[in-house]
Amino acid sequence: MEPELLNEVPSLDLADFTSGDSEQKNKFVADLGSAFTNIGFVAIKNHGLSDQLRISLYEAVQRFFELPDDIKKKYEHPELFGQRGYIGKGKETAKGFKVADLKEFYHVGQPEPIGTMPSNVFPEELPDFTELTLEVYKTFENAGKTLLRAIAIYLNLPEDYFEDKVNNGDSLLRALHYFPILNPELVPEGAVRAAAHGDINLITLLMGASAEGLEVLRRDGKWIAITALPDQIVVNVGDMLDRLTNHKLKSTIHRVVNPPREKMGTSRYSIPFFMHPRADMNLTCLDSCITAENPKLYVDMTAGEFLDERLRELGLKK
């Protein structure tokens, strides 16, 4: 039987998983698995991110994007393929689209890089930007590891299945600025703040954005708006987890639409955390997710190979 089509993202409490109560824990695992097999998105509370930290980071991010372009460009390093530092306007185009998204953003990666990971780049003008982004990075990384434990149980894997794969993983905290559209007539035809796309990584953790606009594509082709309460974060399945589970857990297409005309002159800020594994993680579909009714969909590759492929598709790597 087809699961019902949802008009909103299910809300769950991460404290139910960590409480020590086995009944609550099992219910959280079942509900999370149901949400990720149905709509691919869920709203989570008790994730470890305080209101004050969220507010302080948004203030620091806003101050950075208000800096003159020549200062922001000091932190743009094309040789890092958009993986660290500032990425300017018109640089990223969603897979399958020809027009760049109407955004600029800043990437903060693993605080203690390993292997070939690049080191972080921080704006010297804003020391609190460094401090706050690193604190939020660690907070989201911890919440992400907890959620991956629940996902592992749902998939009948050992609870710590993902632990060594994401330890010192290549995760990214992205501070996004969807800049004001002061003259809508000059916007290229078809350009939106973020065109329809799936995320590359295992899971994405998103703190509440500063304005509405996020929409998710339901199985029946209908777009539904995603909103979260201030104390919630939105978590969704990325393409790597979709591949690993042979599309049992769904990486759902989502987008950020342009605001109504009367709000086009306003900024929108958003801060997602893209939880990536280490580059050597094997994304070969799990045998348990391959059946006669659900044959294997994806070719075998590592997380590093998949990331490289997608960076080229996005135009960040030639």
CB 37 within 8 A of CB 3: yes
Alpha carbons 61 and 52: distance in angstroms, whole number: 14
Alpha carbons 199 and 275: distance in angstroms, whole number: 10
In this structure, is residue 318 part of a structural domain? no
In this structure, is residue 101 part of a structural domain? yes
Alpha carbons 293 and 151: distance in angstroms, whole number: 22
Q: Check pLDDT > 50 for residue 233.
A: yes
Alpha carbons 110 and 125: distance in angstroms, whole number: 21
Task: Tell me which of 52-56, 81-85, 127-131 is least confident.
Answer: 81-85
Q: Check pLDDT > 50 for residue 1.
A: no
In this structure, is residue 168 part of a structural domain? yes
In this structure, is residue 6 part of a structural domain? no
Q: Give percent of the chain with pLDDT exceeding 70.
A: 88
State the chain's mean pLDDT as an integer. Answer: 88
In this structure, is residue 218 part of a structural domain? yes
Provide mean pLDDT across the span 132-137.
97
CATH code of residue 93 = 2.60.120.330
Q: Provide the domain count of the chain.
A: 1
Task: Quote the pLDDT of residue 2.
Answer: 45
pLDDT in tens, 147-199: 999 999 999 999 999 999 999 999 999 999 988 877 766 566 666 666 678 89
Residue 127 banded pLDDT, cuts 50, 70, 90: very high
In this structure, is residue 91 part of a structural domain? yes
Parent domain of 108? 11-313
pLDDT in tens, 34-44: 999 988 999 99
Q: Give percent of the chain with pLDDT exceeding 90.
A: 62
Ramachandran region, residue 258 (left: φ > 0; alpha: ψ -120 to 50; beta: rest): beta
Q: Check pLDDT > 60 for residue 298.
A: yes
Q: What angle do CA 9, 199, 110 make, to 5 degrees?
A: 110
In this structure, is residue 38 part of a structural domain? yes
Instruction: Report yes or no on whether pTM surpasses 0.85.
Output: yes
The two tokens of residue 39 are: 């709509």
In this structure, is residue 276 part of a structural domain? yes
